[in-house]
């Protein structure tokens, strides 16, 4: 078994945690959920929630990792032996999330190559649905994407995970800024900005508020032990508060930039912002086919998505990987092989659920939709709920020991014990309805 690793520097930890947070959730999910929930007003609610309520569980998860210096199951077990079963839900959630997240990763690889022929496609919606229904290519690409992520996870925390993040995250930021500038220079770009920043208060409703909360938790990677595991590699003397602010601020900035990259382009071409999950794979390629140097821009865009997805994908794998290494005293390579097998077994049927296995329904949903629903709506909020209750009511963690501001400490305590658990229970109920 490997010796417990530590981040080589504070910068390494922050870049890696930002790499985990910034992913498909920012570039693919955020714009389309915002598009479906009324634009600017969603953004206001989202920013309010992410800068207040989300601070608490994010801080809490990292803190428990740093405090216990263990992987998920061990961390819960060291608090109380019986909690280890709750801890085990984290790596299980991770494997289930990986099984649908990596499918989208596979689609991205396809579009990276397809970029060179982007203007040869006749009907973008048709192309996308034909592609995802194909029984072979999406499976191969899902496995390829999984292999890329597991390869760097297998190389270890400092030599693999840290290094990939240090390279891909700056690359990601540069491409994003480049694409934002291109989008803002399109004619009628202001319509997209208006859509993003001019709120229509009549669209405010509870469903939208809970959708914003769910998105905020997902994008910050809260609720499956990814951050707990990353937190456990932090050296003792490092304070968490500034890191947590930096993670939230960067994640929100990247989500906003993703919106500023996408909406002006959508409006410039008179397309609809509320086309759902197809926004990035149907609407955006259609735009690329109509602008000068569209191939190169499309290539840059899908490389951007790829960078975001790899760094987040690695964080999803690291939590189960650390659990296997430390619980079963195996080597990292062996743990990665087992995880590769487990994720593949679930991901392949899920990939096929867009085509040949489309009729196979679990609780009325296709396998892919069911995995997304089960993890995003139920398991992630439930894991966060358990961890907040354990910290607030069992460990009785006090804000004053973590934060040096009295008001903040009071808000942290109240949030951890009452506000966040109530919000999470509402989120789970909304998910079930
Ligand atoms: N936050 C990532 C995104 O925005 C996805 C992700 C990575 C994640 N690790 C996670 C989501 C852990 C939930 C839990 O794409």
Residue 345 burial (C-beta neighbours within 10 Å; 0-12, 13-18, 19+): exposed
CB of 21 within 6 A of ligand 1: the answer is yes
- C-alpha–C-alpha distance, residues 34 and 159, integer Å: 37
Whole-structure pTM value: 0.94
Please give the pLDDT value at position 3: 80
Q: DSSP secondary structure string, 284-307?
A: HHHHHTTSTTHHHHHHHHHHHHHH
Residue among 231, 312, 378 whose CB has most ligand 1 atoms within 8 A, to mutate: 312
CB of 20 within 6 A of ligand 1: the answer is yes
Cα of 90 vs centre of ligand 1, distance in Å, is 13
E-strand ranges in 236-347 read none
Q: Give the long-range contacts of residues 391-396, CB within 8 A, separation 24 or more.
A: 391/60, 391/63, 391/64, 391/416, 392/416, 392/417, 392/421, 393/417, 394/79, 394/80, 395/79
Cα of 326 vs centre of ligand 1, distance in Å, is 23
Tokens 């609720």 correspond to 223
CB of 224 within 6 A of ligand 1: the answer is yes
Please give the pLDDT value at position 402: 86
Please give the pLDDT value at position 175: 94
- C-alpha–C-alpha distance, residues 241 and 58, integer Å: 10
Using alpha carbons, select from 291, 292, 302, 288 the residue that is nearest to residue 121.
288
The CA-based diameter of the chain, rounded to the nearest angstrom, is 62
* Ramachandran class of 293: left when φ > 0, alpha when ψ lies in -120 to 50, beta otherwise: left
CB of 24 within 6 A of ligand 1: the answer is yes
Ligand 1 atom with the shortest distance to the CA of 30:
4
Cα of 223 vs centre of ligand 1, distance in Å, is 9
Give the up-direction half-sphere exposure of residue 262: CA atoms within 13 A in the CB hemisphere. Answer: 33
- C-alpha–C-alpha distance, residues 206 and 91, integer Å: 31
Do the beta carbons of residue 118 and residue 302 sit within 8 Å?
Answer: no
Domain boundaries, the chain: 10-386
CB of 223 within 6 A of ligand 1: the answer is yes
Please give the pLDDT value at position 281: 92
- C-alpha–C-alpha distance, residues 276 and 32, integer Å: 5
CB of 305 within 6 A of ligand 1: the answer is no
Please give the pLDDT value at position 145: 98
Model confidence pLDDT, tens digit, residues 359-418 = 999 999 999 999 998 998 899 999 999 999 999 999 999 988 888 889 989 999 999 999
Specify the 3-state DSSP secondary structure of 362: strand
The domain 10-386 is placed in CATH, from the list 1.10.4160.10, 1.20.1440.20, 1.10.10.10, 3.40.50.300, at: 1.10.4160.10
Integer Rg of the chain from CA: 21
CB of 216 within 6 A of ligand 1: the answer is no
Cα of 289 vs centre of ligand 1, distance in Å, is 30
Considering only CA atoms, which residue is closest to atom 7 of ligand 1? 312
Ligand 1 atom with the shortest distance to the CA of 23:
15
Which parts of the chain register pLDDT below 50?
A: none
Cα of 249 vs centre of ligand 1, distance in Å, is 16
Residues sharing a CB contact under 8 Å with residue 207, sequence separation 6 or more, in sequence order: 430
Please give the pLDDT value at position 422: 96
**Beta-ladder partners of 365:** 362
CB of 23 within 6 A of ligand 1: the answer is yes
CA dihedral for 319, 324, 325, 327, sign (positive or negative) = positive
Please give the pLDDT value at position 278: 81
Please give the pLDDT value at position 1: 65
Give the up-direction half-sphere exposure of residue 182: CA atoms within 13 A in the CB hemisphere. Answer: 21
Considering only CA atoms, which residue is closest to atom 14 of ligand 1? 221
């Amino acid at each position: 078994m490997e010796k417990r690793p530590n981040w080589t520097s504070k910068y390494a930890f922050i870049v890696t945690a930002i790499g985990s947070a910034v992913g498909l959730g920012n570039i693919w999910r955020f714009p389309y959920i915002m598009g479906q929930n009324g634009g600017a007003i969603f953004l206001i609610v989202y920013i309010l929630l992410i800068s207040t309520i989300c601070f608490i569980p994010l801080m809490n998860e990292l803190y428990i990792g740093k405090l216990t210096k263990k992987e998920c199951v061990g961390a819960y077990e060291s608090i109380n032996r019986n909690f280890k079963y709750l801890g085990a839900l984290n790596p299980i959630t991770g494997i289930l999330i990986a099984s649908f997240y990596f499918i989208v990763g596979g689609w991205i690889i396809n579009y990276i190559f397809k970029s060179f022929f982007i203007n040869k496609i006749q009907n973008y919606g048709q192309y996308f649905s034909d592609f995802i229904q194909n029984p072979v290519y999406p499976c191969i690409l899902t496995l390829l994407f999984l292999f890329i992520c597991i390869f760097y996870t297998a190389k270890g925390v400092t030599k693999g995970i840290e290094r990939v993040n240090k390279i891909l995250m700056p690359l990601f930021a540069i491409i994003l800024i480049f694409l934002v500038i291109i989008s803002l220079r399109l004619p009628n770009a202001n319509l997209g900005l208006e859509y993003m920043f001019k709120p229509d208060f009549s669209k405010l409703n509870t469903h939208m508020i809970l959708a914003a909360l769910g998105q905020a938790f997902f994008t910050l990677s809260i609720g499956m032990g990814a951050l707990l595991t990353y937190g456990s590699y932090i050296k003792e003397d490092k304070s968490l508060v500034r890191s947590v602010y930096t993670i939230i601020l960067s994640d929100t900035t990247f989500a906003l930039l993703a919106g500023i990259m996408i909406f002006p382009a959508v409006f410039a071409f008179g397309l609809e912002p509320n086309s759902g999950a197809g926004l990035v794979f149907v609407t955006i390629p259609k735009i690329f086919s109509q602008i000068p140097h569209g191939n190169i821009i499309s290539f840059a865009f899908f490389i951007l998505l790829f960078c975001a997805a790899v760094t987040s994908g690695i964080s999803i794998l690291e939590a189960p990987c650390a659990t296997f290494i430390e619980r079963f005293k195996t080597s990292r390579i062996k743990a990665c092989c087992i995880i590769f097998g487990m994720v593949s077994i679930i991901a392949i049927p899920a990939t096929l659920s867009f085509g040949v296995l489309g009729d196979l329904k679990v609780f009325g949903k296709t396998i892919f939709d069911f995995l997304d629903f089960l993890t995003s709506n139920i398991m992630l909020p439930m894991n966060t709920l358990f961890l907040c209750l354990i910290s607030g009511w069992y460990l009785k963690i006090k804000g004053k020991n973590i934060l040096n501001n009295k008001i903040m400490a009071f808000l942290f305590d109240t949030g951890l014990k009452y506000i966040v658990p109530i919000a999470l229970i509402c989120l789970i109920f909304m998910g079930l309805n």
